[in-house]
Structure 1
Amino acid sequence: MRAAYRAHARATALSALAYRASFLLSLGGVAFQLVALLAVWRVLLGGGSGGPIGGFDWPHMRSYLLVAFASGALVGTFVDFRMSHRIRSGLVALDLVKPVDYQRARLWETIGGVWIEVAVIAVVVAVSVAFSGPPDLPAGPELALFVSSMVLLVPLKFIMVYLSTLACFWTENFVGVMWARQAITGLLSGALVPLAYFPGWLATAAQWSPFAGLTSTPALIFVGHASGRHALLLVAAQLGWLLLLWFGARALFGRALRQLTVHGG
């Protein structure tokens, strides 16, 4: 059975390599966002000559944006487009008769592209370090929590993408759903603006929402704005949301199948 899931992962990796131009262009958009945000925040924070704003000085913000870039580049392959196409075309019926769990198979397809994304992230971070110097790494316990948070980010981001793509069982247009998901997650995850700059009530709500686990949680731990018990609670919330959404997606998938209609022979 595990071999079947590994086959899904290999298929995604081969697809990313076969369509490497589209794959690299999609990651290039995230890299361009990193460059733009670095330029904007360097001006706002005075490039190290000005004082901190909202608890962030320029070195901390640069490290925060590097983590935000990494989190944005992960789980960026074409799993959602492939899944949405197969649902809208009815080809999902072929997926349902395979002797594998549908949700786990989609997760393994996502994992199949992660190693390529990690390689691209490493190149971009290496270039940034070459020009601007290495960022300060967190202490031992916080570094372990940061790595744990980045690992949890992959299935958490997948399940959010998966949940939004299930909307194709009810709607014919996936692009609008995808844009709405990207807008909401980009804002409430802290990928565009750290949650510390939000109004107090919104910052608190966003910090303990599932979206924070996509950027804010690992980034805050990395720059030292969350440490000790606070960092542990943030990672625990990340894990809790992952479990809740994972089993919630299973329940939603059961309802979605009632909407499936396949025509033709």
Structure 2
Amino acid sequence: MRAYRALARATARSALTYRLNLLLGLGTVFVQLVALLAVWRVILAQSSVNGFTWPQMRVYLLVAFAAGTVVSAFGDFRMAFRILDGDVALDLVKPVDYQKARFAETIGGLWIEVLLIGVVVGVTLAVTGGVRTPAGPALALFVVSMLLLVPLKFLIVYGSTLLCFWTQNFIGVQWARLAVMNLLSGALIPLAYLPGWLATVAQWSPFAGLTSTPALIFLGRVDVRHGLTLVAVQLGWVLLLWFGARLMWRAGLRRLTVNGG
């Protein structure tokens, strides 16, 4: 465990050292938040659409912003380039589990992301007005859902980055991942606005747990029983993707060829 704690601390120091990169990434999500707030305020100014009022949509977008900001410090590009260049072979001789080491790095930068989220959400609420927090059981479910979001998002990003063992173009993989995540997670629009069949597919996919599940629970659009089901789906995907990623790693290593003297 000492090695993983050291990796977590190193990630935190790196994020603070290269804070401009972190702030630029946060700025991208923040600009998206401001744009969506402006658009939805106009759309929902007169009436609700698919059951969403403007106050509800404002809270939904704030949860989406928080969900989109966490795990942003995970170095998927660094990991991808090490795989493509063959430098990942150096990681194989280290006395740590590769997947657990990358997750420890993710946890290391988490507190910085949470701090930045708190600042942005606090300022936004001060400008646009406060929100009503859900009752005890729903609030507890929301917290659990947000906690499960961290390993879930890590595993989706980590698993897609492992595709570099089979492809030479990580940029294409990243764009495809972002497009699918934004659509099926409900980050751009709530899943209720999607066609019925697509909304159903998205709700049972791992992507819904990245935005839709915690947002719906916080808004009280699902009862406690349904919320438990959604959180259970999140947990199920975390377990499935964790072990699935380990199988991908083993398969990828069989394709690894490193030349050198």
Q: TM-score, normalised by structure 1?
A: 0.97
* 1:18-51 deviation per Cα after TM superposition (whole angstroms, max 9, x unaligned): 11111100111001100000000000000xxx22
Partner of residue 3, structure 2 = 4
Aligned to 2:53: 57
- State the distance in 2 between where 1:85 and 1:5 align: 22
Q: Give me the whole-angstrom Cα distance separating, in 1, the residues matched to 2:102 and 2:113.
A: 17
Hey, what's the Cα distance between the residues in 2 that align with 1:134 and 1:3?
A: 42
- In 1, Cα distance between the equivalents of 2:77 and 2:5? 20
Give the Å deviation of 1:78.
4.3
2:15 is aligned with 1:19: no
Q: Deviations over 1:81-123 (max 9, x none)?
A: 1111111111111111111111010001111111111011000
- Letter paired with 1:253: W
Decide whether the 8 Å contact of 2:60 with 2:215 is kept in 1. yes
Q: Give the secondary structure class of the aligned counterpart of 1:259.
A: coil
What residue number does 1:195 align with?
191
Q: d(CA) in 2 for partners of 1:40 and 1:228?
A: 31
Is residue 218 of structure 1 aligned with residue 214 of structure 2? yes
How big is the shift at 1:129?
Answer: 1.1
Cα offset for 1:251?
A: 0.9
Aligned partner of 2:164 in structure 1 is: 168
Q: For 1:53-202, what aligned pairs fall within 5 Å after superposition?
A: 53-202=49-198
Aligned to 2:252: 256
2:35 paired residue number: 36
Alpha-carbon distance in structure 1 between the residues aligned to 2:26 and 2:169: 24
Aligned residues: 261
1:52 Cα deviation (Å)?
A: 1.3
Q: CA–CA distance in 1 between the matches of 2:85 and 2:105? A: 19
Moved over 3 A (4+): none
Q: Which runs of 5+ in 1 are unaligned?
A: none
Q: Is the 8 A contact 2:74 2:105 kept in 1?
A: no
Maintained 8 Å contact 2:4/2:104:
yes
By how many angstroms is 1:133 displaced? 1.6
Contact preservation (8 Å) 2:37, 2:58: yes
CA distance in 2: counterparts of 1:151 and 1:60, whole angstroms: 22
Give 1:263 shift.
Answer: 1.4
Q: Give the Cα separation in 1 of the matches to 2:183 and 2:196.
A: 15
Give the Cα separation in 2 of the matches to 1:217 and 1:166: 26
Q: 202, 206, 216: which is aligned to 1:206?
A: 202
Q: Which amino acid counterpart does residue 161 of structure 1 have in structure 2?
A: V
Segment of structure 1 superposing worse, 8-17 or 56-65: 8-17
Relative distance call for 1:78 and 1:228 in structure 2 (3 A) is: closer
CA deviation map 1:146-204 (0-9, x unaligned) = 00000000000000000000011111111110010000000000000000011111111
In 2, Cα distance between equivalents of 1:116 and 1:90: 31
The unaligned stretches of length 5 or more in structure 2 are none
Residues in 1 aligned to 2:228 and 2:47: alpha-carbon distance in whole angstroms: 29
Once the two structures are aligned, what percentage of the paired residues are identical?
A: 68
| Alignment RMSD | 0.8
Q: 2:48 is paired with a residue of what secondary structure? A: coil
Name the CA distance, whole Å, in 1 between partners of 2:16 and 2:257. 33
Secondary structure, counterpart of 2:254 in structure 1: helix
